Amino acid sequence: MTVSNYSGIDLELSLKSNVSANPSKNNTPISGISEAFETYAERADRIQQERCSDVPRDVIGPTEKTDEGFHPVNVWDEVPYVEDNYFDRRKKLTSGGWGNQEVVNQILAENFGRYNQIQAESYLAAQFAFTFGKNKEIVAYEMESLDFQTEYEVNPKHRAYVFSVVEDVPFVYCEGVDLATKSSVARGVLLHQEATVSQLSEYAEVSERHIRNVLPVLEAEGLVHREKRKSAYDLWIDRGITNSYLDDLVEDKEGLEEE
pLDDT computed for residue 27 by the predictor: 54
Q: Please report how the helices 179-192 and 243-258 are oriented relative to each other, as an axis angle in degrees rounded to 10.
A: 170
pLDDT in tens, 10-45: 433 434 444 433 443 445 554 444 454 444 444 443
Helix (H) / strand (E) element for 129: namely: helix 117-131
Largest CA distance in the chain: 57
What is the value of pTM for the model shown?
A: 0.81
Q: How far is CA 56 from CA 45, 52, 62, 129, 157, in A?
A: 22, 11, 14, 19, 9
How many angstroms separate the CA atoms of 255 and 243, rounded?
A: 18
Q: How far is CA 182 from CA 132, 177, 188, 254, in A?
A: 18, 7, 10, 14
pLDDT in tens, 176-232: 888 889 999 999 999 999 999 999 999 888 899 999 999 999 999 999 999 999 888
Which domains does the chain carry?
3-168 (no CATH), 179-258 (1.10.10.10)
Enumerate residues 6+ apart whose C-beta is below 8 A from 24. none
Enumerate residues 6+ apart whose C-beta is below 8 A from 46. 116
